[in-house]
């Protein structure tokens, strides 16, 4: 018998309530994350990456709802789970790291106390023991002079240090699953690399799994083993990062790769994807990438392709994934 995945998201549909009905913003997202895996979700702005992640953490903004689908953590259904039970999972089991630490940190509380809060509440540590743990977590995330810095307020620290505080907060209860929403986007490139390496190291040391949302393909390449590419609320391609990057099977993924700098070929011209993502309130019964797709054919306008297996461990939602990419490679 194979072990069930740590996280299993199946046919997740998220909607925003409008005066007339609902607009679907995430449409049928499915993915599994095995214990110890690092899974990336990429896509342009507005493709539904953050909302998918927030649904897992039960942190959807007001007005956005799970309309259907399932989110299983360790085999247990999270959708519809009672609030108290679900809240108990956050911290010791699941933690989330956001793009902008200032939105997650309390501006009027010393950072050491903020990190110590989780271990006190969830691990039952005394005030003193929790503070010792907080300082050791700060040291672990590479914060110099942690005992002194624990007394600082968030605004007294640099962006890079604040991001490390948030990581220390997230890992302080040794969660098994860490959800990251663009955790390094606000940082400069050198600090970004340091923080990513730190996250990887901590995941390995603590045996934590990672779901990593970003629009930066280089970050996914560095950090994740598997990925899903989202477009207009749907997944259009999934597979191992190395396979998808070498040989994309969806025209959107190919567009993303062609429009991103390539470290192996620094001189290569960047080709942006023309046009804009569709308005989700007026979804047509056609492939949503069709208006921007260089390979579009009549069939693409007559119905939307669904995600289908293209080879072992790989899926693509394109009617022509085989033919097109054979052509591209010739
Ligand atoms: N609070 C909200 N209320 C209603 N709709 C929202 C809200 N936040 C986001 N949306 C909508 O949900 C859709 C998906 O947004 P989401 O934030 O998940 O995108 P994203 O892929 O994370 O984009 P980005 O790369 O810009 O962070 C978008 O169409 C957006 O307009
Ligand atoms: Mg986002």
Map out the domains of the chain with their CATH numbers: 7-224 (3.40.50.300), 252-330 (no CATH)
Identify the pLDDT of residue 185: 78
Identify the pLDDT of residue 279: 85
Identify the pLDDT of residue 281: 80
Identify the pLDDT of residue 160: 87
- With the most atoms of ligand 1 within 8 angstroms of its CB, the residue from 42, 50, 67, 232 to mutate is 50
Distance CA 281, CA 24 (A): 7
Question: Which tens digit of pLDDT belongs to each residue from 87-123?
Answer: 888 888 999 998 877 778 999 999 999 999 999 999 9
Crossing angle (nearest 10°) for helices 127-140 and 111-123: 120
Identify the pLDDT of residue 329: 57
The structure tokens listed for 10 are 């199946």
The structure tokens listed for 216 are 């930066």
* Closest protein CA for atom 27 of ligand 1: 45
**CA 240, 245, 248, 251 torsion: positive or negative?**
positive
- With the most atoms of ligand 1 within 8 angstroms of its CB, the residue from 25, 185, 233 to mutate is 25
117 class by beta-carbon count within 10 Å (0-12 exposed, 13-18 middle, 19+ buried): middle
Identify the pLDDT of residue 193: 85
Give 213 Cα–ligand 2 centroid separation in angstroms: 8
Q: What is the DSSP letter of 90?
A: B
Identify the pLDDT of residue 61: 94
Identify the pLDDT of residue 198: 85
Whether this model's pTM surpasses 0.85: yes
For residue 14, give the ligand 1 atom closest to its CA. 12
Phi and psi dihedrals of 210, rounded to 5?
Answer: -130, 135
Give 25 Cα–ligand 1 centroid separation in angstroms: 8
Identify the pLDDT of residue 250: 95
For residue 233, give the ligand 1 atom closest to its CA. 14
Protein residues whose CB sits closer than 6 Å to any atom of ligand 1: 16, 25, 43, 45-51, 61, 63-64, 215, 280
Distance CA 129, CA 127 (A): 6
* Closest protein CA for atom 1 of ligand 1: 61
Report residues of the chain scoring pLDDT below 50.
Answer: none
Contact call for residues 265 and 78 (beta carbons, < 8 A): no
3-state secondary structure of 239: strand
Looking at the DSSP assignment, which residues form a beta bridge with residue 229? Answer: 42, 237
Buried b (16+ CB within 10 A) or exposed e, 150-162: beeebeebeebbb
Give percent above pLDDT 70 in the chain. 97
């Amino acid at each position: 018998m194979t072990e069930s995945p740590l996280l299993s998201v199946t046919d997740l549909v998220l909607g925003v309530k409008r005066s007339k009905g609902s607009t679907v913003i995430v449409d049928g997202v499915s993915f599994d994350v095995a214990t110890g895996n690092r899974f990336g979700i990429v896509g342009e702005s507005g493709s539904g990456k953050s909302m998918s992640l927030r649904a897992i953490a039960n942190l959807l903004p007001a007005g956005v709802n799970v309309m259907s689908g399932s989110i299983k953590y360790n085999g247990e259904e999270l959708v519809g789970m009672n609030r108290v039970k679900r809240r108990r999972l956050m911290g010791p089991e699941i933690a989330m790291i956001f793009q902008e630490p200032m939105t997650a940190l309390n501006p009027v509380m010393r950072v050491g106390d903020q990190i110590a809060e989780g271990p006190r509440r969830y691990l039952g540590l005394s005030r003193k023991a929790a503070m010792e743990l907080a300082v050791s977590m700060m040291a672990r995330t590479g914060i110099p002079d942690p005992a002194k810095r624990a007394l600082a307020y968030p605004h007294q620290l640099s962006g890079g240090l604040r991001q490390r505080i948030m990581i220390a907060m997230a890992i302080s209860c040794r969660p098994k699953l860490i959800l990251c929403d663009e955790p390094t986007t606000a940082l400069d490139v050198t600090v970004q690399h340091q923080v990513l390496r730190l996250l990887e190291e901590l995941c390995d040391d603590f045996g934590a799994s990672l779901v990593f949302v970003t629009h930066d393909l280089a970050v996914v390449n560095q950090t994740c083993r598997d990925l899903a590419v989202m477009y207009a609320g749907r997944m259009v391609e999934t597979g191992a990062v190395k396979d998808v990057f070498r040989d994309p099977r969806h025209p959107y993924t190919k567009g993303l790769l062609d429009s991103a700098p390539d470290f192996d070929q620094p001189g290569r011209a960047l080709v942006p994807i023309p046009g804009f993502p569709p308005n989700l309130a007026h979804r047509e019964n056609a492939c949503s990438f069709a208006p921007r797709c260089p390979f579009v054919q009549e069939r693409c306008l007559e119905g939307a392709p669904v995600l289908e297996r293209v080879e072992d461990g790989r899926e693509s939602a394109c009617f022509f994934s085989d033919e097109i990419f054979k052509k591209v490679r010739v």
